[in-house]
Amino acid sequence: MNEVAQLDLYGRTGPIDAHVARTAEGMAMNQVRVGLLVAAALLAMPLTAAAQQQGQPKEINLDEEGAAPAEAPTEGEGAGTGEGEGEGEIPGGEGEGLGDICKIDPSACPSINMDEAAKRDINAEMYAVQQIYALRRFRFEITPYFGITMNDQFVAHPAPGLGLNFYITNVLAVGVNGNFYAGLNSPSNFNFQTSRAARVGVPITEYAWNANANFSYVPAYGKFAGFGDFIFHYDFYVLGGVGAIATRPIAVVDPDNRTFEFKPRLSFHVGGGLRIFFNRWFAVVAELSDYIFFDELENPGIATGVDANNNPRAQDPTTWTAPETSFTNNVQAQVGFSVFLPFSWEYRLPK
């Protein structure tokens, strides 16, 4: 064995075995490394604890490049964490929600058989508008009224009248109306003053009666508020028809020889009005009507001479009227009220 003189770990000198010396040297080096690692670990633990306080969330700076975005909650997730989240979804399924109602209040538990309800016949004629306040279909309307002349300055033709209508639908009706003028015609003061000032007799006529068959149509109806919060229902209507009117001239030019009889003449009737309902069977009516006809007027000239029988021609009735008829409009304003029969009815569709 080779012997060498060398200081040992304790500073002593002397010959030692070389293998023992190398083993002792390696063990000493390992102990030094372990000691350094333990010292480093003890120093690192307090530094790590001081870098982050316990219990505080880690701060994330979104401005830093590469920072991970916060994960947005998806629809339906986190039910109950905020208003609107999870809308339309019932935790545990649809059936569980209805079951919860039954658990809380058995009397309120839904008992509808959805399969049977789905098989029911559905009437597709459903209306989203308000029902008509006063139905007219298959009802009679009785309208007494009073009319006055609007366009004749020389003679007035006031008259009471009566209208009868039967409504085939809610908007279309057939009916009749009539006016009674006899005994109520009166020449105006304007006619008297004109005749006296100008010495000119203006041919005027008087009426006896008037009757017409009409069609009525209601194009619009609605309501309005009045007298505070009272709601009035109304409708507009137009009408047209044909009838007859009995008229005769008033002898002005030669009253000593001329007398006239009433004769019926073909007339046409057009008009329109407003009807305001106070209830479902009573309404007030304002109407403007024009009775159009070809009238026969007094002849402004007086025939002279005698006829073949030696009678004065001025007494011949064929010379009393003008050779041509006159196109006449008898525009009349009418005010009255309407009564609908029967008084009540049932709507075809429930309200």
How much is the pTM? Answer: 0.62
d(CA 326, CA 316): 21
Contact 156, 186 (CB under 8 A): yes
Looking at residue 103, what is its pLDDT? Answer: 76
pLDDT recorded at residue 349: 76
Q: For residue 230, what pLDDT is reported? A: 85
pLDDT at 158: 94
Write a three-state SS string for the chain: CCEEEEECCCCCEEEEEHHHHHHHHHHHHHHHHHHHHHHHHHHHHHHHHHHCCCCCCCCCCCCCCCCCCCCCCCCCCCCCCCCCCCCCCCCCCHHHHHHHHHHHCHHHCCCCCHHHHHCCCCCCCCCCCCCCCCCCCCCEEEEEEEEEECCCCCEECCEEEEEEEEECCCCEEEEEEEEECCCCCEECHHHHHHHHHHCCCCCEEEEEEEEEEEEEEEEEEEEEEECCCEEEEEEEEEEEEEEEEEEEEECCCCCCCCCCCCEEEEEEEEEEEEEEECCCCEEEEEEEEEEEEEECCECCCCCCCECCCCCEHHHCHHHCECCCCEEEEEEEEEEEEEEEECCCCCCCCCC
If 0-12 CB within 10 Å is exposed, 13-18 middle and 19+ buried, where does residue 28 land? Answer: exposed
What is residue 24's predicted lDDT score, i.e. its pLDDT? 52
The one-digit pLDDT tens for each residue of the chain (351 residues) are 444 444 444 444 444 445 544 555 556 566 666 666 666 666 555 444 444 444 444 544 544 544 444 444 444 444 444 343 444 444 444 445 566 777 777 776 767 777 887 888 777 666 567 788 889 999 999 999 999 999 888 899 999 999 999 999 999 999 999 999 998 998 888 888 887 787 777 888 999 999 999 999 999 999 998 887 788 999 999 999 999 999 999 988 888 889 999 999 999 999 999 999 999 999 999 999 999 999 999 888 888 888 888 888 888 888 999 988 999 999 999 999 999 999 988 888 776
* Gap between the Cα atoms of 185 and 193, Å rounded: 18
pLDDT value of residue 142: 97
- Of the candidates 128, 69, 139, 186, the residue with the CA atom closest to the CA atom of residue 346: 139
